[in-house]
Amino acid sequence: MVFIELAKKRYSVRSYKNIPVEREKILEILEAGRVAPSAVNFQPLRFIVVQDEQVKKDIISTYPREWIKSAPAIIVICGDHSTAWRRADGKDHCDIDAAIAIDHMTLAAADLGLGTCWVCAFNSMQCHKILKLPSNLEVIALLPLGYPMDQADSERHSQKRKKIEDIVHWDKYSE
């Protein structure tokens, strides 16, 4: 598939079919996250695949939206800020590394006919306790995963996204 077509095909799925996701497909999505670039190749991320119904129910309790219950799997993206690269001014790149990996995984899922929705508005501390994570890891995002109940219009971007001339500047910023 041409990359721009894949990028336009991906959307935030909030309704999933009641079909388990094959392990091979999950591993392919995780591989996309694993090979994503990270600052100075420090690779501060960890991925936890949640499919067990009780663990999934507990994780879902950290994000009180009904739609997430339909996802057959959830990938929990964690980062270790203590091992992430820091810029000279101290800026920690762990969240940036996570964003790149998550984007790779969402695109890989779309390429496999699966859907995802990047979830950040959840109780991270509660999620941390549920997963019995060590203190050095932070839960950065939840990535529900499954077969989408519907499809998005790939032409929606022409109406729902800003025009290229509204966001791109050449050589210097101008109003």
Question: Domains in the chain, please, with CATH?
Answer: 3-167 (3.40.109.10)
Q: Hey, how many other C-beta atoms are within 10 angstroms of the C-beta on 119?
A: 20
What is the tens place of the pLDDT at every residue in 143-154?
999 999 998 777
Residue ranges with strand state E in the chain:
45-50, 73-79, 115-116, 138-146
| CB-based contact 172:141 (threshold 8 Å) | no
pTM to 2 decimals? 0.94
| Distance separating alpha carbons of residues 73 and 39, to the nearest angstrom | 28
What is the tens place of the pLDDT at every residue in 67-94?
999 999 999 999 999 999 999 999 999 9
Q: Hey, how many other C-beta atoms are within 10 angstroms of the C-beta on 25?
A: 17
- N-terminal to C-terminal alpha carbon distance within the chain: 36
% of the chain exceeding 90 in pLDDT: 89
- Inter-CA distances, 140 with 4, 27, 100, 143, Å: 27, 20, 12, 10
Listed residue (71, 80, 74) closest to 98, CA to CA: 80
Q: Is the pLDDT of residue 156 over 90?
A: no
The predicted model gives 9-30 an average pLDDT of 96
